[in-house]
Amino acid sequence: MYAINVREYGFELTFEGFIKAEEMEAWLIESQTVLMHAPEKFGVLIDMRTLKPLPDDAQAHVHTGQKHYRKKGMDRSAVVVAHPVTKMQFQRIARETGIYEWERYFDASSQDDWEQAAMNWILDQVDPDL
């Protein structure tokens, strides 16, 4: 399951459970429509706490989607994970698509203040890795 919600800072994306390529393609199409009305610059909070690792064919749509969000004005994204394999998978994808430098990862399984830390990154560019 996925959801796209408009927020003051930009967008909140939620990905849950096991997502196949067809559903990730639907996310990509919906994202392209939503991003037509995006502000010039925006942030993205991506909640993947319950997402299972993606199959290869679904990852292809993520590649395209990440590039599209960046092209349309995403200046920072905060990715919230709770599973190390999912985190590694999305870090690899971010490196491949060239958005890694604008993305930070927050581990909800070990970080109680992940939501505040994620918003600090999106809104004020407070880098949690420094």
Cα–Cα nearest to 71, from 48, 42, 95: 42
Domain total in the chain: 1
Q: Distance between CA atoms of 77 and 45, rounded to whole angstroms? A: 6
- For residue 130, tell me if it sits in a domain: no
Q: Which residues contact 114 (CB under 8 A, 6 or more apart)?
A: 80, 106, 107, 108
With the CA atoms of 91, 95, 97 and 100 taken in that order, what torsion angle do they form, in degrees rounded to the nearest 10? Answer: 80
- For residue 39, tell me if it sits in a domain: yes
- For residue 56, tell me if it sits in a domain: yes
- For residue 129, tell me if it sits in a domain: no
Helix axes 84-97, 56-71, angle to 10 degrees: 50
Contact of 106 with 128, CB cutoff 8 Å: yes
Q: Per residue in 80-127, pLDDT tens?
A: 999 989 999 999 999 999 899 999 999 999 888 999 999 999 999 999
- For residue 88, tell me if it sits in a domain: yes
Whether the per-residue pLDDT at 129 is higher than 90: the answer is no
**Type of residue at 46:** I
- For residue 85, tell me if it sits in a domain: yes
Give the structural domain span for 86: 2-124
Query: Residue 85: which CATH number?
Result: 3.30.750.24
- For residue 115, tell me if it sits in a domain: yes
Q: Per residue in 71-82, pLDDT tens?
A: 999 999 999 999
- For residue 12, tell me if it sits in a domain: yes
- The pLDDT score that the predictor gives to residue 130 is 84
pTM, to two decimals: 0.93
Q: Per residue in 2-50, pLDDT tens?
A: 999 999 999 999 999 999 999 999 999 999 999 999 999 999 999 999 9
Q: Distance between CA atoms of 125 and 22, rounded to whole angstroms? A: 34
Furthest C-alpha separation in the chain: 38
